[in-house]
């Protein structure tokens, strides 16, 4: 009992310490809830075996997303391109560019994330294929072919690594790693490499995927060097990363390496503490059976690789897959279900509110870009009703006030946004515009310079800053001329 109380005390102390060091505390709380949610889910799912329902889940989920992936490529993408390119300025450019590549992502956010999901499903499908007979074998064979086809359509180079590592681990723990299987396996892997390279030859030739990762990793290392002890605060990476991007480097709000981003956010001390906790509790968790090794260790190896070269746990779908895999590797009956279940419900409700709030904010931004200002305003209000601490809504509301020439209200709203997130380049940009309209040229210039400082690679901010310098020079010159004529 004493050990548990001491452990809780240490965790609370670190939580408060991290909270105090966080640049934006709202984002720290949201990120903490995100990871705590998955910890509770893991604790809850350890009680239940997925052995019977996993084939049903694998088959149904694979069927849905593989069919949708093919439909997306050959039906939806052409429709989207024909529809949105006539008025491209009203649709988020990033989404259009993603569709333009032709790389499918099915119901997920990115092609790289989808390739990870496909690889996990392909290993499971292969396992059920070799252990089935009759009609079931035909079904699993069709799904396996569809899975590989979707993997090719995703165009992800990392998928080759996932398949290689996953199947190697599976063959090893299943006892299938024999000489007669090595040649066919390597041939299939080589074919996958050649096809994906062929579909993205121009990028492969320039080594763009590797350059992307290296630049993102370098940016994370720069943050770690500047904030080594306690980091910038959990959930704050996206807010500070624009200041560490050099000219010509790839831009991303993620480090494309979970350990690097985690250290950048939480610092070296907290990371070491968590590693020690995991090592001390490893023996208590260790309960991997031979059946679990055969199925779940290959999947977990893909999950680890994904977190080392991509966004990893920061995507909900990827994180929930990792939690399910771990819960089945380290099963434990008779955990305190009532307490864990109650906490899970509370945290889930909070997380649902936060998610819906973020979703409404994104909808508001999209509607504003389409010049549907009233609908956009309603979305921001809905978002704030669910989560009044979602400061990103204030940026949108201030922009709407600026468009409608309600300058006093715009200034008050953007001021609230800056209180929550002073490092927002966009907030300073909007504030500068409002100051310029009110002829507060010194303040306008200062905020324009702050916008550039927090996001140096944004061309719009740089142009506005140069314009404000010229505006201030003109104002000072006119003011000096007026005083000279007066005297």
Chain segment 375-412, per-residue pLDDT in tens: 999 999 999 998 888 888 999 999 999 988 898 999 99
Whole-number pLDDT of residue 336: 57
How far is residue 277's CA from residue 255's CA, in Å, rounded to a whole number?
A: 25
Q: Which of 236, 223, 226 is nearest to 420 (CA)?
A: 236
Percent of the residues in the chain that have a pLDDT greater than 70, as a whole number = 86
The whole-chain average pLDDT of the chain stands at: 84
Query: Over 90: is that where the pLDDT of 263 sits?
Result: yes
Whole-number pLDDT of residue 3: 62
Query: Over 50: is that where the pLDDT of 484 sits?
Result: no
- Segment 257-278 shows an average pLDDT of 89
Whole-number pLDDT of residue 88: 37
Query: Over 50: is that where the pLDDT of 334 sits?
Result: yes
Per-residue buried b or exposed e for 118-127, using 16+ beta carbons within 10 Å of the residue's own CB: bbbbbbbbbb
Residues 158-210 have pLDDT tens digits of 888 899 889 888 888 887 766 666 777 777 777 777 777 667 656 656 667 78
Q: Which residue has the higher pLDDT, 471 or 63?
A: 63
- Segment 85-89 shows an average pLDDT of 40
By mean pLDDT, which of 193-207, 234-248, 428-442 is the weakest? 193-207
Query: Over 70: is that where the pLDDT of 446 sits?
Result: yes
Q: Which residue has the higher pLDDT, 174 or 417?
A: 417
| Confidence band for 6, pLDDT divided at 50, 70 and 90 | low
Whole-number pLDDT of residue 276: 81
Whole-number pLDDT of residue 86: 41
* 111-130 vs 54-71: helix crossing angle, rounded to 10: 130
CA distances from 244 to 89, 228, 252, 423, 451 (A): 29, 15, 11, 13, 14
Query: Over 80: is that where the pLDDT of 84 sits?
Result: no
Query: Over 60: is that where the pLDDT of 419 sits?
Result: yes
Q: Which residue has the higher pLDDT, 34 or 285?
A: 34
By mean pLDDT, which of 20-24, 305-309, 315-319 is the weakest? 20-24
Q: Which of 249, 164, 267 is nearest to 213 (CA)?
A: 249
Angle at 368 between CA 366 and CA 369, to 5 degrees: 65
- Segment 256-265 shows an average pLDDT of 94
| Confidence band for 487, pLDDT divided at 50, 70 and 90 | very low
How far is residue 76's CA from residue 149's CA, in Å, rounded to a whole number?
A: 17
How far is residue 26's CA from residue 189's CA, in Å, rounded to a whole number?
A: 45
Residues 447-483 have pLDDT tens digits of 999 999 888 878 889 899 998 888 888 877 665 455 4
Question: Is 347 within 8 Å of 36 (Cβ atoms)?
Answer: yes
What counts of helices (H) and strands (E) characterise the chain?
22, 0
Query: Over 80: is that where the pLDDT of 77 sits?
Result: yes
Domain residue limits, the chain: 43-77+108-339, 407-487
Query: Over 80: is that where the pLDDT of 335 sits?
Result: no
Query: Over 70: is that where the pLDDT of 348 sits?
Result: yes
By mean pLDDT, which of 101-105, 209-213, 333-337 is the weakest? 333-337
Which range in 84-88, 89-93, 98-102, 179-183 is most confidently predicted, on average pLDDT? Answer: 98-102
- Segment 303-329 shows an average pLDDT of 91
| Confidence band for 260, pLDDT divided at 50, 70 and 90 | very high
Whole-number pLDDT of residue 365: 85
CATH number of 407-487: 1.25.40.10
Query: Over 90: is that where the pLDDT of 306 sits?
Result: yes
406, with CB counted inside 10 A (0-12, 13-18, 19+), is: middle
Whole-number pLDDT of residue 79: 84
- Residue partners of 331: CB distance under 8 A and separation at least 6: 46, 47, 49, 287
Percent of the residues in the chain that have a pLDDT greater than 90, as a whole number = 35
Q: Which residue has the higher pLDDT, 259 or 391?
A: 259
| Confidence band for 89, pLDDT divided at 50, 70 and 90 | very low
Whole-number pLDDT of residue 44: 85
| Confidence band for 288, pLDDT divided at 50, 70 and 90 | low
How far is residue 9's CA from residue 5's CA, in Å, rounded to a whole number?
A: 6
| Confidence band for 85, pLDDT divided at 50, 70 and 90 | very low
Cα 51 versus chain centre, distance:
30
């Amino acid at each position: 009992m004493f050990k548990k109380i001491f452990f809780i005390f240490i965790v609370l102390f670190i939580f408060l310490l991290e909270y105090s060091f966080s640049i934006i505390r709202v984002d720290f709380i949201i990120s903490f809830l995100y990871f705590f949610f998955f910890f509770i889910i893991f604790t809850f799912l350890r009680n239940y075996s997925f052995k019977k329902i996993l084939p049903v889940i694998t088959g149904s989920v694979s069927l849905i997303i593989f069919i949708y992936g093919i439909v997306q490529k050959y039906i939806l993408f052409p429709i989207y391109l024909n529809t949105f390119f006539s008025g491209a300025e009203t649709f988020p450019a990033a989404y259009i560019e993603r569709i333009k590549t032709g790389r499918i992502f099915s119901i997920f956010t990115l092609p790289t994330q989808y390739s990870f999901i496909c690889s996990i499903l392909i290993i499971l499908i292969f396992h059920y294929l070799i252990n089935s007979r009759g009609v079931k074998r035909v079904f699993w064979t069709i799904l396996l072919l569809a899975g590989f086809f979707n993997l090719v359509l995703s165009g992800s180079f990392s998928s080759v690594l996932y398949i290689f590592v996953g199947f190697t681990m599976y063959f090893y723990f299943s006892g299938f790693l024999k000489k007669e299987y090595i040649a066919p396996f390597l041939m299939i892997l080589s074919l996958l490499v050649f096809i994906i390279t062929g579909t993205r030859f121009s990028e492969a030739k320039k080594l763009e995927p590797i350059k992307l990762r290296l630049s993102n990793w370098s940016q994370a290392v720069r943050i770690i060097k500047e904030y080594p002890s306690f980091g910038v605060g959990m959930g704050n990476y996206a807010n500070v990363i624009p200041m560490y991007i050099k000219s010509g480097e790839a831009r991303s709000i993620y480090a494309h390496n979970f350990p690097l981003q985690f250290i950048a956010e939480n610092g070296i001390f907290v990371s070491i503490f968590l590693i020690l906790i995991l090592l001390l509790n490893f023996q208590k968790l260790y309960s991997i059976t031979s059946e679990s090794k055969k199925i779940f260790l290959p999947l977990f190896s893909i999950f680890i690789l994904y977190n080392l070269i991509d966004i990893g746990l920061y995507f909900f779908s990827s994180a929930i897959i990792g939690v399910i895999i771990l819960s089945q590797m380290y099963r434990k009956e008779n955990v305190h279900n009532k307490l864990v279940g109650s906490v899970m419900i509370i945290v889930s409700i909070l997380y649902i509110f936060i998610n819906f709030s973020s979703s409404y904010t994104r909808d508001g931004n999209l509607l504003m870009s389409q010049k549907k200002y009233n609908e956009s305003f309603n979305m921001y209000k809905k978002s704030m009703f669910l989560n009044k601490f979602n400061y990103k809504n204030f940026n949108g509301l201030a922009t709407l006030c600026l468009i409608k020439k309600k300058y006093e209200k715009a200034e008050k709203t953007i001021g609230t946004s800056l209180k929550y997130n002073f490092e927002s380049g966009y907030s300073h940009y909007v504030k500068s515009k409002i100051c310029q309209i009110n002829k507060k040229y010194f303040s306008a210039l200062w905020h324009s310079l702050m916008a550039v400082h927090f996001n140096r690679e944004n061309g719009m901010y740089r142009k506005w800053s140069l314009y404000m310098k010229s505006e201030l020079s003109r104002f000072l010159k006119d003011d000096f001329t007026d005083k000279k004529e007066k005297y």
